DNA sequence: CTCTTGACGCCGG
DNA sequence: TCCGGCGCCAAGA
């Protein structure tokens, strides 16, 4: 199976769409789940082609997102009852982190 | 080809 | 807990 850049984008977006409401994955989680180690590369894909996918379900390892994005994401977290921590300033990774293998 | 730029992550202080 | 520094790796200039 030969994988080009296009396929990798498809794999990332496909996995992101599978994340259940109220749960999240870190950029690194997405990368390792697909067998890579470039978390930044996942971030780059999200920044460029994440239209149409639940982008707010992919956060940093510490449960945060860049300020401008966090502002928009909070509304979704409220909808999906995503567990937050630190006074609503970050996702509670211990409870919200999803295991792609367990499904 | 070299240098800069990130929706990242780990390690000190 | 909150920065700052450094490594990482593909894309663009």
Q: Is the pLDDT of residue A12 over 60?
A: yes
The bases of strand B with some atom under 7 A from any protein CB are 6-10
CA–CA gap between residue A32 and residue A27 (Å, rounded): 9
In degrees and rounded to multiples of 5, residue A27 shows phi and psi of: -60, -40
Q: Is the CB of A101 under 7 A from strand C?
A: no
Whether the beta carbon of A69 falls within 7 A of nucleic chain B: the reply is yes
The CA-to-CA distance between both ends of chain A, in Å, stands at 24
Q: What is the mean pLDDT of residues A5-22?
A: 92
A39 touches strand B (CB under 7 A): yes
Instruction: Please give the Cα distance from A76 to A97 (Å, whole number).
Output: 16
Q: What is the pLDDT of residue A7?
A: 84
Closest CA to A62 of A24, A6, A17: A24
């Amino acid at each position: 199976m030969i994988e080009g850049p296009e396929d990798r984008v498809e794999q990332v977006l496909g996995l992101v769409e599978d994340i259940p409401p109220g749960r999240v994955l870190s950029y690194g989680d997405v990368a390792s789940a697909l067998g890579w180690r470039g978390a930044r590369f996942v971030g780059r894909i999200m920044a460029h082609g994440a239209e149409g996918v639940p982008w707010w379900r992919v956060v940093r390892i510490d449960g945060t997102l860049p300020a401008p994005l966090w502002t928009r994401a909070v509304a979704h977290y409220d909808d999906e009852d995503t567990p937050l921590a630190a006074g609503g300033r970050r996702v509670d990774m211990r409870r919200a982190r999803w295991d792609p293998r367990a499904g």
